[in-house]
Amino acid sequence: MSDKKLWSGRFNEPTDAFVEAFTASVEFDQRLYRYDIQGSIAHATMLAKSGILTAAERDAIIQGLETIQERIEQGEFNWSVALEDVHMNIESALTEAIGDAGKKLHTGRSRNDQVATDVRLYLRDEIEIIRAEILRLQRALLTVAEREAETILPGFTHLQTAQPITFGHHMLAWFEMLERDRERLADCNKRVNVMPLGAAALAGTTYPIDRHYTAELLSFDRPGENSLDSVSDRDFAIEFTAAGALIMMHLSRMSEELIIWSSAQFGFINLSDSFCTGSSIMPQKKNPDVPELVRGKSGRIFGHLMGLLTLMKGQPLAYNKDNQEDKEPLFDTVDNLKGSLKVFADMIPAISCHRENMRQAAMKGFATATDLADYLVRKGNPFRDAHEIVGKAVALCVEKECDLSDLPLEELQSFSCDIQQDVFGVLTLEGSVAARSHIGGTAPEQVRAAIRRAKARLA
């Protein structure tokens, strides 16, 4: 394959060797080869339909491109830095293979609309893969939620014991976070699935092309309305990375809880050995490396989002070489999202709960204090008065180093004569969670109902 640049006619001197390497993108954009060939086949098909290529030229181009794809996939294709990028490498190989017909492929297009099309085709496929991994993780969460629908643990605010909840309810909270992520990606795909091809360099082309036909061949919803915007827009990549940053933020929050819960100080859960590592010096250690690494990767994706925003903020219309810098952060975001979601979907079903540890923790910190206040409200006390009464009862418990349920009835009645024997039914952990029996509540029956609804949403 010749290393002669396909744009060299204007130039009298060769490109400086360092500049050639510095400006090349083929080392990372070669992953777009399948989409570049897919777009080129559609473009050639459209050119023939429009009378710009003959049927024989179209067939030679398509056969040549298919052969090049086979060579790439068999590891027999020589990528050249001198040819700059994936587009020039493939076009040069095509011309070498089929002659002048290969030189006609670029009629009516530019690398500017070509690369924008390739990236959109690539991202469209990756979004579906990522959404499928989110779905797999959601199903794993539902499995755990169903298994632990009655498992009680303390719910926290400010990382202080607040009220008892069920572990199944907590898993469903993670499910809802991911459901928003899945919906966001589907919505993002609407902006991704708009075709730039045919916008050419920036102003369109003088050839009688049929952009709607090309869009149909490539399964785009429509061609872009404005040629300037089509070649310079990277909103879709930024929007995807923003959605990716939210996914990683959610996974990071989950990671934080898994790390805390699996520590000896909490002892709520056990992570499978398959997702942990040991220490090189401390033989007793079992480190939650997978959630720690995912937590760390969130910052990496946040950085890519800021990098892409900064990349675009000062660019005038239309295409600028700056946009070569969009691919590495985008590719890295895709790779890390897929990896993080995959490992979570594999890890979550293997979690085992130390139910008694969870229960004992829920007994500390006066988790049923709000239940006592609600009990007093039902007896006719204004909530603020009930709040004060319970606060005084808690202060006594702190002094006596006991729980509210440990106080004898006589002592509880010293704070309010409305407190009767039936109070001990609401001061139990089971009574507390069972009382929250409404949609979105933590009662086991509501958790199971929420799981049924969630499964229906995923069907």
Catalytic center residues:
158, 279
Q: Is the peptide bond before 55 cis (omega within 30 degrees of 0)?
A: no
Find tokens 């398509």 and name the residue.
62
Amino acid at 157: T
Backbone φ and ψ for 210, nearest 5 degrees, come out as -120, 90
Residue 317 CA to residue 228 CA, distance in Å, equals: 7
∠ CA(117), CA(20), CA(76), 5° rounding?
A: 65
Token pair listed for 261: 């819960």
Residue 168 CA to residue 142 CA, distance in Å, equals: 8
The set of residues, in sequence order, having a beta carbon less than 8 Å from that of 200 and lying 6+ positions away, is 108, 109, 110, 112, 113, 227, 231
Spatial CA neighbour of 268 closest among 276, 278, 259, 277: 259
